[in-house]
Structure 1
Amino acid sequence: MTNIAIYGFGRIGRQLLRSAVRNDLFFPTVVCDIAPAGTLAALLEVDTNYGRWPGVASEDDASISIDGRKISYVNSREALPDWRALGVDLVIDCSGRGVTREAATRHLENGATRVLISGPSKTAADCDAVLLPGINLDDFDADTHKIISMASCTTNALAAVVKVLLENTGIKYGVFSTVHAYTNTQSLTDQPMASRRDSWAGAENIIPSSSGAAKALGFIWPDLKITGKAYRVPVRTGSIVELNVLPDREISTEALRDLFRAAATTGPLAGILDVFEDEWTSARIVGDPHSSIVDLPLTQSFNGMVSVAAWYDNEAGFSMRLAETAARLAR
């Protein structure tokens, strides 16, 4: 049996565990972080965005318990854990620091068989493959893919839309904008930050930001000509991305919407892609496990152009795909 460790128990690490346990995908052997186990157990049990865990989370010095099942806890402040000694095969790096090959390789050097990175690698050379459920996860090669990137929440949201368009209309080129919930990289108050725009209060401003999603999509489709940007807005979670493309073949608005209706119910994107027939706001998708939820009333064809809007819970949806991918790699 494959033993799985979660390295980094922040926003994504905790939602990953919730998704994995609630959906019977896997139960981690080890959790690592630099914070005290008691604080982590409390944050797991009561989450501001997603409410209370339906059972009980508790801790002692060496473990975190969920409904009576123990997970070994290792404080990794001083050193990377010895995965070999802990019997860990697959490490899911949710620390945000495993995006270079140098950082990811340390897990392998410490005894892990494989590393799954919950973020976009800096370059294509910094991982062995970018694999996304519903997109290209079937390309997984156990012999050569030791460092695997799951890219970002925005990449997963866009990838489902891009796949449908590439297979049905083609894409000459395109541009996207994502309106994204604020994140831990921002500050609650105005103060100097590494990024000038991030120096203003994240819960009080619309803050333009760069997006690495276009580069990550290029790791999957090297010939894809898409670029884009992000805007961080004052919501806790729940985001939307709008992709505007010039297709190779023109399509009517209703035929375009039918493409996404079909993809949401059959084929590799079923359960990953969803659609809205009615008009909703971001509150509707908080906690939704889909990677991409196409807003059909906002999706249209106009003068040869195609515009597709897709919602995504930037924490819950991405964590669900991360859990599914980990379970697949473990098998």
Structure 2
Amino acid sequence: MAGDAFAEWKRREELAEAMIPIIGQLYRQHDVSILVHSRSLVNKSAVGILKAHRFVRQIEETELAIEDSYPILKTVSEMNLAPSRIDIGHLAMAFKNDDRGLSAEEFTREAVKDAIAADGAGQPPARDVVLYGFGRIGRLLARLLIEKTGSGNGLRLRAVVVRKGGENDLAKRASLLRRDSIHGLFNGTIHVDEENETIIANGNEIKIIYSGDPTSIDYTEYGIKDAVLIDNTGKWRDSEGLSQHLRPGISKVVLTAPGKGDVKNIVHGVNHETLGENDKILSCASCTTNAIVPPLKALNDKFGVEYCHVETVHSFTNDQNLLDNYHKGNRRGRSAPLNMVLTETGAASAVAKALPELTGLVTGSSIRVPTPDVSMAMLNVTLKEGTTRDELVDHLRNVSLSSTMQRQIDVTASTETVSTDFVGSRAACVVDAEATIVQGNHAVVYLWYDNEFGYSCQVIRVVQHITGVLYPKYPQA
């Protein structure tokens, strides 16, 4: 039996290895991303591809066989597709449930026929992106933008604006991009061009602009035009302050913190469609807001939400002190690595900006804990309509599989998961199915979220949307 199991593993590994060049060619030549249940297979190893197939059992309660997805990938590779995202996992599962007697090739060609490139249609031009600030979120955004360069016709990271920290500033910033204590090594190569003050990452030339005053920069001097600037400093949070970024070469400004005043707070998957061409300044809200709004919407749509209290157990952040010292905020001056720190959260009040129908129905508080990344939100919900645990979990699972919030909500059914298991999660939140409690119209839903990486993925999705490079996904929800 052991020999049979190993032989089976080698056979499946061989299929995964055969997938790698096909996936790479589709991505780099045609901007077609291959997914398995919303998880990208681009730049994955053979083992990574097999693990993505294995993970499907957490959602579908059955493992996806690579033998089922491989012929679908082969068919996709033979079609002349426009830039798009093709989920071979969803296609394979849908094919299993199809009773029309079609072959895998026939089924696939029919399911993705709308993704075929129109005659004479070219790929859209690349869109420039500038990062203002290069801290925790800024560097993760840089990694994601570099990862998603594809054929070069999508988003292109052109520059980073920072204040100069010293003589070795460029080398140190490149080193921080290259090595991360939480998220590991950068996936690729990084070269520093000191003479031109440029970091070259996987062929992407990123100009480092040293400035502490946004009004002093003319981005067109660096060949940057019609760019989206992502402000991840949090220094300015209202329209007046953020409008300083609307300089020559910059057409839109995105804030990676809750916006104030008339700044729209956007949670991708929930209210990003409310954005119009005239919205020049917008906010991606907070990591916690992005984690709780999608499942709250899902629960409200199905059962109705009468009231919800959100308690977040949040990893400490740079805003806190390593050792006890003065801090303008209550309790945040106490040592972050040594204490649980009870503090406030603006996420509950921010819900109303993304889901106006829940205005006044959500309260919240937060406990900062001595972990560097991955947080948890507990939704203590009073529903208008009573339900059962199985019905509620099945609803959230279905939303994660076949709704417009596929990329926001994920589900885990494991009884052994802990916070570090979710480092690098690209979902806005992951529902812990086994921890869910339901009694009539009262429910407690536990949500894991990588408050750094998952949030950064949400920011990139918003930027992709406002620039028109968020390519359609097939099969469509």
TM-score by length of 1: 0.94
2:259 equivalent among 93, 118, 121: 121
- Contiguous gaps of at least 5 residues in structure 2: 1-124, 469-477
2:358 aligned with 1:219: no
2:331 aligned with 1:232: no
Q: CA deviation at 1:303?
A: 4.3
Q: Which residue of 2 aligns with 1:19?
A: 144
Q: Which residue of 1 aligns with 2:385?
A: 249
- Indicate conservation of the 8 Å contact 1:276/1:293, yes or no: yes
1:136 equivalent among 263, 271, 274: 271
SS in 1 for 2:299: helix
Q: Which residue of 2 aligns with 1:33?
A: 162
2:299 equivalent among 158, 165, 175: 165
- Indicate conservation of the 8 Å contact 1:20/1:324, yes or no: no
Q: Which residue of 2 aligns with 1:98?
A: 236
For 1:262 and 1:185, locate their aligned partners in 2 and report how far apart those are by CA, in whole Å.
37
Relative contact order (alpha carbons < 8 A, sep ≥ 6): 1 or 2 greater?
A: 1
Q: Which amino acid aligns with 2:218?
A: D
Q: CA deviation at 1:273?
A: 0.9
1:73 equivalent among 177, 183, 208: 208
For 1:221 and 1:324, locate their aligned partners in 2 and report how far apart those are by CA, in whole Å.
19
Which stretch shows the higher mean deviation, 19-28 or 264-273?
Answer: 19-28
Among all aligned residue pairs of Structure 1 and Structure 2, give the percentage whose two residues are the same amino acid: 28
Computing the radius of gyration from Cα coordinates, the structure with the larger value is: 2
- For the structure 1 residues 254 and 79, does the alpha-carbon distance in structure 2 shift closer, same or farther, using more than 3 Å as the test? closer
For 1:121 and 1:286, locate their aligned partners in 2 and report how far apart those are by CA, in whole Å.
26
SS in 1 for 2:332: helix
For 1:289 and 1:54, locate their aligned partners in 2 and report how far apart those are by CA, in whole Å.
16
SS in 1 for 2:427: coil
1:8 equivalent among 109, 133, 145: 133
Q: Which runs of 4+ in 1 moved over 6 A?
A: none
For 1:78 and 1:274, locate their aligned partners in 2 and report how far apart those are by CA, in whole Å.
40
SS in 1 for 2:380: strand
Q: Which amino acid aligns with 1:179?
A: V
Deviations 1:225-282 (A, max 9, x none): 1010111101110100001111111111110010111011111111221011012110
Q: Which residue of 1 aligns with 2:30?
A: none
Of Structure 1 and Structure 2, which has the larger fraction of its residues in helix?
2
TM-score by length of 2: 0.66
- Contiguous gaps of at least 5 residues in structure 1: none
For 1:14 and 1:110, locate their aligned partners in 2 and report how far apart those are by CA, in whole Å.
24
Q: CA deviation at 1:304?
A: 2.2
Aligned residues: 327
2:464 aligned with 1:327: yes
1:184 equivalent among 305, 308, 318: 318
- For the structure 1 residues 304 and 78, does the alpha-carbon distance in structure 2 shift closer, same or farther, using more than 3 Å as the test? closer
For 1:269 and 1:179, locate their aligned partners in 2 and report how far apart those are by CA, in whole Å.
23
Q: Which residue of 2 aligns with 1:265?
A: 401
Aligned ranges for residues 44-59 of structure 1 at < 5 Å? 44-59=177-192
Aligned ranges for residues 145-156 of structure 1 at < 5 Å? 145-156=279-290
- Indicate conservation of the 8 Å contact 1:83/1:107, yes or no: no
